[in-house]
Structure 1
Amino acid sequence: MRKLLIGSTAAAALVAGSLIAAAAANADSGTVVRVVDGDTVVVSINNNDQTIRLLNVNTPETKDPNKPTECLGPEASEYLKQALPAGSKVRLEFDVERHDKYGRTLAGVFNASNQLVNAEIARKGLGVPMVVGENRKFLPPVQAAHDEARKAGEGLFAESIECTLPAKVAAASEALASAEEAAPATTSSAAGASASTWASALVAAKAAHDLLSAERDSEHSIIWAAYSTGEAASKLKALSDRITRADTTLNQVKEQQKTLAAAEKKAEEERKAAEAKAAAEKKAAEEAAAAAKKAADEAAAAEQARAAAAAAEAERLRNIPAPQPYVPPAPKYVAPQPAAPSNPYPGYTGPRCYAPGGKTWRPC
């Protein structure tokens, strides 16, 4: 019995030793040299720099020269730099396949606090679960962290981060809701503004629709990690229905804009015609008033001239000296002839001078 126990103990120790040896053979440690991107780090192992690709997590692209920087790619890289600063010690655990097709070492990376950094990236919403070949060892903790981020609305699940799919869907929904809640347009300019609002909302909605309806296995599939297939389908249907209604409304608003513009044009023409008529009537009235004033002024001037002439004549007459009482002219004085003396000689007319011979005479 004792022999059996001793044998069993030895066997157990042998198995345990084998497991420890196997575990040791499937793990390693090193020092962080630098972070490449959100899921890749260079680690010095036995003074040999090795590029380590974190297993079962995928972060947005930042380094591929043939692809644009993806949403939250820089943030994922920055997080990994903070989680694994240069010079820090890390423990590496490996799975079935040790290297990928690019020659990178595939591993679970544990920091000095024994945290699986692969999962912590997903917990921040900066990475999504993925499988590389037969390597699934770290998939459960990464998946659990990813679900935790989904519930918390972190990273790729955040509606507050403009580039995420939830943010795009929320922005599209808000834009459509804002357009729907706008007051009815009563002018063509207001209808035009409403049409612009609807058009902008439709652009955002259709962009979000295209993202939701795209194939999930495309090169940008990481953005769809925010929604499950069912969630994406539900949101896609709701967004499609709203887009259809919005297209109809936009066409109605455009027609309304045309109708209002035509009515405003007609009203403007009528206003201008009324203004022209009023201006013509005003001008005619002003001309008539001017003519009447001119006639009145001329009449007043004539009356004033007449009055002035009358006043001048009156003044002239007033200044004429008053006529003196008529005094008949005195008769011309004729000195009275002296009375002839009594002629003692009747018939005597005065002395007579006789011509020689005494036959003729003249008074002397």
Structure 2
Amino acid sequence: MKITRTFVLSGVALLALSGCSSATPQPEPSPSSSKISYADGLHAKVLSVETANTITVDVDGRTKEVRLLNVVAPTEHNNEFSGSCLVPESTDFLKQKLPEGTEVTLDFDDSRVGSSGYLEAAVYVGDDLINADVVREGFATTTFLSQRDEHYAPVSEAQQEAAREGRGIYSKDVECSLPHAIQLHLDRVHRADDSQNEEERIGLYKSASNFYNTLMSEAKSPDTWVGSIVTLDAVKDQLKELKNALGKNYYDVQGKSEREKQSEANEPIRPGS
């Protein structure tokens, strides 16, 4: 999606001149003493890529670490579903998009610095929004700070595209992805249906039910923001398929199956009970 923007040249504040004679020559402001104006259209040069959502850039001779606005990258220490999936692959992808020396333009949201403490920006190469590119390939997901986030919409749309096309962390073929985990339990349920071993069958049903219950407890309202919760909105149809496959063999959080609850409801009341 091509985004048309108006570039605003960033200014550099001059050093204040005070207490000096007009005849005294004044030194030129150095990069270290001048202040960066964080306005849309700020030009920078890529020095390195740290993760799928963090880069180091040079701005007028100063080194700044920038986090891609509205983008959440997988990390080795993320315990959320799919949160530690494709970490090196996602970083390599961004390195290919932004090799050292690439000229980029930075746009900012009103908040500019997010809760992480990083300088957060929409990173452009020409009219190409890099934030959306990483998410579109399924190498990262989107997040937001408020309803007024300026760049959330295109990044969220990119995530929905990745989910529809089954790319990256939305692929059933990627072992660390959530869709792969759901499919694995779905296959186990089908295998349980064909099993003659009652103990094995019940174990598979309970395992799939516990997985489903845990997943749903992790996301109280996955549909509140389209694409805002890592992969859950994208796999809601797949989760529904798993629940339907379990049918009466679904076990609730109390460990009771639908079949058991139905049996108890149909049990006749005995005299004196």
Q: TM-score range by the shorter chain?
A: 0.5 to 0.7
**Equivalences, count:** 218
Partner of 1:284: none
Q: Quote the Cα distance in structure 2 between the aligned partners of 1:125 and 1:181.
A: 35
Q: Quote the Cα distance in structure 2 between the aligned partners of 1:146 and 1:43.
A: 25
Partner of 1:162: 175
Q: Is the 8 A contact 1:155 1:161 kept in 2?
A: yes
**Which residue identity lines up with residue 58 of structure 2 in the other structure?**
S
Partner of 1:263: none
Determine which of 61, 70, 73 is the counterpart of 1:56.
70
Determine which of 179, 183, 188 is the counterpart of 2:192.
179
- 1:65-80 matches, cutoff 5 A: 70-80=84-94
**Which residue identity lines up with residue 119 of structure 2 in the other structure?**
T
Q: Is the 8 A contact 2:122 2:129 kept in 1?
A: yes
- 1:208-247 matches, cutoff 5 A: 208-216=212-220, 221-227=229-235, 231=237, 234-235=240-241, 237-238=243-244, 241=247, 243-244=249-250
Q: Does the C-alpha gap of structure 1 residues 203 and 104 become closer, same or farther in structure 2, counting only changes over 3 Å?
A: same
Partner of 1:45: 59
**Which residue identity lines up with residue 109 of structure 1 in the other structure?**
V
Deviation at 1:175, TM superposition (A): 1.0
Q: Does the C-alpha gap of structure 1 residues 162 and 202 become closer, same or farther in structure 2, counting only changes over 3 Å?
A: farther
Larger-Rg structure: 1
Deviation at 1:120, TM superposition (A): 0.8
RMSD: 3.7
Deviation at 1:217, TM superposition (A): 7.6
Unaligned runs of 5+ in 2: 1-5, 12-38, 223-228, 261-273
**Which residue identity lines up with residue 154 of structure 1 in the other structure?**
R
- In terms of fraction of residues, the more helix-rich structure is 1
Deviation at 1:211, TM superposition (A): 1.4
Q: Is the 8 A contact 1:55 1:107 kept in 2?
A: yes
Q: Does the C-alpha gap of structure 1 residues 201 and 75 become closer, same or farther in structure 2, counting only changes over 3 Å?
A: farther
Q: Which has the higher contact order (CA 8 A, sep 6+)?
A: 2
Q: Quote the Cα distance in structure 2 between the aligned partners of 1:50 and 1:87.
A: 14
Q: Does the C-alpha gap of structure 1 residues 214 and 235 become closer, same or farther in structure 2, counting only changes over 3 Å?
A: farther
**Which residue identity lines up with residue 156 of structure 1 in the other structure?**
I
Q: Does the C-alpha gap of structure 1 residues 226 and 114 become closer, same or farther in structure 2, counting only changes over 3 Å?
A: same
Residue 129 (1) aligns with residue 142 (2): yes
**Which residue identity lines up with residue 244 of structure 1 in the other structure?**
Y
Superposition TM-score, scaled by structure 2 size: 0.65
Partner of 1:188: none
Unaligned runs of 5+ in 1: 1-18, 186-190, 252-364
Deviation at 1:205, TM superposition (A): 4.7
Q: Does the C-alpha gap of structure 1 residues 145 and 22 become closer, same or farther in structure 2, counting only changes over 3 Å?
A: same
